[in-house]
Structure 1
């Protein structure tokens, strides 16, 4: 009897795990006693084979990530005009064919670690249109995050792409993150950008609100975050959204995909 019941319940158990190719039998109505016995057998089997639970958990996590990615890409496509045509956002290589959009905070340690990777892409690919989204998510904890973001947008308005890029890179080169950033760091970065810190007119803090609202619409809840898409012909197939720090190869792969499939549109 137990062998028969086990042969019945095991396929049912494994069929709940999409990674296991088992044909699901027709579900019958069991008596309370049979249900209890089945539960005991299933529990015993899982205790003897805990790797199934791990596999199921990993599969579920992968499915959730895929769903999140799909939703994020759809949101990106719905907001691509704001992402690609916002004059208030600093842009390097505006005539590029592929857009890389980064949401970041100057005091985010992972943004700091990604800064050399992004800088390398900027200097190495003249056709990569890079948009910087100043998003000081740590502003309440470390107010200089917000001040640095406002200053960055002010440098962009006063000195354009070259000045902004110098300001941006100089701040990250300090290595001062997670509350370590100082007013002196910001002033030196402004000077490096060719502007006068004492005379620079900072944009109002409300100018950062649009970026926060955009991040919310895209389902982005932390920094760094990256979007890669063709400037023209963006679709689900050639658009990538990356939450958190990634390696250079991953970014380059997304750029290559956007460029090869985008050019075919």
Structure 2
């Protein structure tokens, strides 16, 4: 964990004393003496610097959540009901989980079982899959094949998604084509569709939303009023879904 520069920490500590005298009331000698006192105190109590770091991180996280909540409210339709996104599970489910993912994200592959367990255990959840290729040209190439497949065979998209994300090695154009062919959509069909309607809308929408939400990696989820970043695991996702049903928020 990175520590703050001593000057910054000293100023933060000085402010916490809430001294009645303004800084300008101290002469140079008093300022020097006070600075030496702070320095000595911090050296004797270095854990304070960690406390300051923790407090700042907590404050930044609270600000991030407030901002994300506002963005979710203002962009609800684009997040939960974008026309180009595919949803799996119960299309009329009472709770929707939106997942931003990349086909080459190792954590997304790990989280794949969380989604499958959720859909198996809870028949009233709707999962929206938002492709967010950010891990290089291979991810973008795989996404383009996926987008063409989605347009040609939307009813098989879940199978495509599970096969490609759950496959071995890196996902790229070739591996995505192989999965598409195994599901009955051949390479010529895919390439014709890619030429006819090259994807720009859905992925640009994902990039724009991610920037507004402050998403820094995959997987990232939107559940109700909350942005959840990282492969948090099935138990955490299930708890948030239950809270949505109990109080309309992910935390009751």
Task: Give the TM bin, normalised by the shorter chain.
Answer: 0.7 to 0.9
2:244 to 229, 254, 258: 258
- Scaled by the length of structure 2, the TM-score of the pair is 0.83
Matching residue within 181, 185, 203 for 1:195: 185
Pairing 1:175–2:161 present: no
How many residue pairs get matched?
231
Cα RMSD after superposing both structures:
2.3
What secondary structure is seen at the aligned counterpart in 1 of 2:153? Answer: helix
Q: For 1:58-137, list aligned pairs within 5 A.
A: 58-92=54-88, 93-137=90-134
Residues 91 and 132, structure 1, Cα contact 8 Å, conserved in 2: yes
Equivalent residue, structure 2, for 1:13: 13
Q: 1:197 and 1:123 mapped to 2: Cα distance? A: 32
Q: Which runs of 5+ in 2 are unaligned?
A: 1-9
Structure 1 unaligned runs (5+)?
1-9, 17-22, 230-238
- Name the SS for the 1:137 alignment partner: coil
Deviation of residue 126 (structure 1)?
1.9
1:149 corresponds in structure 2 to 143
2:213 to 211, 218, 240: 218
Give the alignment partner of residue 27 of structure 1, picking from 16, 21, 28.
21
Name the one with the larger helix percent: 2
Encode CA deviations 1:166-210: one digit per residue, 9 max, x unaligned. Answer: 11111122132xxx3344421332134443343232351313222
